[in-house]
A and B are shown apart, each in its own frame.
Chain A
Amino acid sequence: MSLFKKWGAAGAALLLAASVTACSGGGAPASAPAKNGGDAKPGTTTDKPADKPTDKPVELVFWSLGTNGYEKLAEEYKTVKPNVTIKIQNTADQTAHHNNMMTALTAGKGAPDIFMLEIAFLEKFLEAKDKFNNLNELGADKIKGNYLDWKWKQASSPDGKFQLGLPTDVGPTVVYYRTDLIEKAGLPSKPDDFGKEIATWAKFAETANKYKEKTGKPFVDMPDLVFNGVRDQGNEIYYNDKDEFIGDKNAQVKKAYDFTVKGIKEGWVGKNQLWTPEWAKDTNDGGFAVMLAPAWMNGVIKGNAKDTSGKWMITQMPEGAGNWGGSFLTIPKESKNAKEAYEFISWLVGKESQLKSYVSNGLMPSIPAVYDDPKFKELKDQFFADQAISVEFAKATKSVKPIRYGKLHDATDAIVKESLRNVQLKGADPQAEWDNAIKKIKELNKRS
């Protein structure tokens, strides 16, 4: 019996752990676990009779994830479709959110009408696509062209016939950097100039070495983000379309590994770990000058480095951006109102609504047409020295490639990153660590 108490304990622990490191898997800009601005009226209780007597009242249950401002939009939807009430259940805890859904699907009962699915968990659910509505059948194929191609493909079956979800936000990666520190090291600090200075990975390393020589400090915060930066530029990472492990043969992965090792050996990679208080402090104290991170990280940086407002700016990644995070809206088969649900979600991720959730909550839109909207383009950010950062993010989305991650991506990636950390902190031999990582990954793959 005690054996099974532990399962409960494990679950509880995870709940807590995950809520602490709420954005660890990446995703919606959920840096703040709280809902935005105490809007405790998520449009649920309006019982007014429907304007059109023919429309029966419909209630849609919507499990949403992270701070996204959807409560407000759901209320606004009342003016579009007065008979539809959206009941939002929001959580900031990704792992619990997806585990709950998994439980509901396994039980065949209790799933919501609309489920927000984060990219890191998507592959698992794509495997169970028979439990979801094919949105193409509800009309998604007609709006496909509005969205970023790579983003759309993330939630499609390999043949493109099945569409699991409609895209919400994206997380293109950019270079965040401290202008004052870069200047002090005698390097050009304007976004365009600095971008040129680090246009390729070779130049990036060169600049990093220069910075390290001048200041004695690491150029970037940690190995993981450097590794991600190079890793995400390939067409594939660890798994191919058929979910077979190819990471040991993929030159891009090895390139990312070798480049990070080079940085570690040359001493321009810091020793931080993501989401630790120490990392936050280092961000604030100028312990490093550059962070390679997705669009939603801007909220995290603002939170971590309050004292450095106005000293940060953004430029493009060397050799092109990758993507980290972002969600989709799905409709489980269990929903009795799939049509109404589809109507709502296609409105919720439409151009207008996406612009609103960008302005209110920083959800980077997945519709390129939004990027030309003056309201989007002209949004300046004080923290980033009045730079129009949305333009940089928009530019970054264009070089992202559609990558299929494979359902063991996270576990695989963790093993490789463990090796990198061993090289950095234990002084382990990079080649031996690499071989060991591949061996472990193959062991893992025996199970699937």
Chain B
Amino acid sequence: MMNAGVSASPAAVPARPWLTERRRSRIAAYLFISPFFILFAVFGVYPIFFTFYLSMYKWNGLGDMKFVGLKNFELVLTDPTFWTSFFNTFLMGGMGTIPQLILALILAVALNSAFIRGTKFLRAVYFLPNITSIVAVTIIFSGIFANKGIANYVVSLVGLGPYAWTVQYWPVKIAVAIMVIWRWTGYNAIIFLAGLQSIPGDLYEAARIDGANRRQLFLHITVPLLKPFILFTTLISTIGSMQLFTEPYVFLSQGGTGSTREEGVTMVIYLYSEAFKNSFFGTAAATAVILFVFTIMFSLLNTWVSRRMGGEA
């Protein structure tokens, strides 16, 4: 501001210059935030609109694009494999998410209790699965779920199996769900732990004086006060589970054919194979649009449910 007079009004020029100090600082501010918006426009907005555009064309990725209207949507929505992938996504999502959140909550409570030593160390350990390469992890799990792997040995101890974990309907889903659980439990536990630490200790003290036992403390103080955190993790996990890709893709693509078996096809894998395996970019884009609609619907449902739950509290 101090230099304003000097730079804004060069002597003897009556008209105000266009670049006033105010404008200048505005432009500077926009320039400072522009990298994000430019990148977002190029890598975010443009692909989104291009996907909508592409979903109405037939294109093999190399040749000319041909307008086909809504044909792509018809092809995808009448394809039984797409619906298989739809149900797979939700089944595996549910099987992965629900136990994972429960486990995470239990882990967080245990971590938060005063009886455990080395909390910081354990916290780091819980988080490790989340930053490990999913592909590497999946390959290790593939060994565990091999025909003569550990998983079959373990189930044989209780007189079950052997299962073909990479082929049969439920075993495939269980195997994938276990990988998902393994990867995300620690992450959610950390979030829960943060939530637990925000609960004031005097609440527990007061309840204990009133004679509440540990179960009652957990159910009537911990869980209700943790509700915002539970809602958050649920929302994030369900949206994440709709985008399940790497685990089933790597786990089931090892047969040399490079394609994922029907039992483990998720919507994203379906989309991916349409585009990059079969070069049907139009139907792939249509699948992306459908997935987009599903995700929005699901998020709205989630928000609605959490509003209602939040209202009660």
Question: Which A residues form the contact surface with B (CB < 8 A)?
Answer: 1-4, 6-7, 9-10, 13-14, 16-17, 20-21, 24-25, 95, 99, 102, 105-106, 124-125, 127-128, 131, 224, 271, 273-278, 407-408, 410-411, 413-415, 417-418, 421-422, 425-426, 440, 443-444, 446-448
Residue pair B253, A4 in contact (C-beta under 8 Å): no
Stretch of B5-13, B18-26, B207-215, B277-285 that contacts chain A: B277-285
28 A-B residue pairs with Cβ-Cβ distance under 8 Å, sorted by A, are A1-B44, A3-B243, A3-B291, A3-B292, A6-B245, A6-B268, A7-B47, A9-B245, A9-B246, A10-B245, A10-B272, A14-B276, A17-B246, A20-B135, A102-B62, A105-B62, A124-B60, A124-B279, A274-B254, A274-B255, A276-B142, A276-B146, A414-B258, A415-B259, A418-B259, A421-B255, A440-B81, A444-B278
Expressed in whole angstroms, the minimum distance between the Cβ of A356 and any Cβ of chain B is 30
Residue pair B239, A275 in contact (C-beta under 8 Å): no
CB-based closest 7 A-B pairs: A274-B256, A414-B259, A414-B257, A425-B164, A128-B62, A16-B135, A278-B146
Expressed in whole angstroms, the minimum distance between the Cβ of A22 and any Cβ of chain B is 12
B191 on interface, CB distance cutoff 8 Å: no
Residue pair B168, A447 in contact (C-beta under 8 Å): no
Expressed in whole angstroms, the minimum distance between the Cβ of B59 and any Cβ of chain A is 10
CA distance A124 to B272 in the complex (A): 17
Report how many A-B pairs have Cβ atoms within 8 Å: 149
Interface size on B, as a range, is: 35 or more
B48 touches which one: A4, A131, A415, A447 (CB < 8 A)? Answer: A4
B134 on interface, CB distance cutoff 8 Å: yes
CA distance A131 to B64 in the complex (A): 12
A448 touches which one: B135, B262, B280 (CB < 8 A)? Answer: B280
Q: Which residues of B contact A448 (CB under 8 A)?
A: 280
Residue pair A278, B149 in contact (C-beta under 8 Å): yes
Residue pair B167, A421 in contact (C-beta under 8 Å): yes
Residue pair A273, B143 in contact (C-beta under 8 Å): no
CA distance A275 to B143 in the complex (A): 12
Q: Which residues of A contact B302 (CB under 8 A)?
A: none
A106 touches which one: B62, B75, B277 (CB < 8 A)? Answer: B62
CA distance A24 to B254 in the complex (A): 8
CA distance A341 to B147 in the complex (A): 49
Residue pair A425, B168 in contact (C-beta under 8 Å): yes
Residue pair B62, A273 in contact (C-beta under 8 Å): no
Q: Which residues of A contact B258 (CB under 8 A)?
A: 21, 24-25, 95, 410, 414
B311 on interface, CB distance cutoff 8 Å: no
CA distance A411 to B270 in the complex (A): 12
Q: Which residues of B contact A128 (CB under 8 A)?
A: 62-63
| B268 nearest in chain A by CB position | A6
Q: List 7 extra interface pairs beyond A13-B249, A21-B258, A277-B146, CB under 8 A.
A: A3-B291, A4-B51, A10-B276, A24-B257, A273-B166, A278-B149, A422-B167
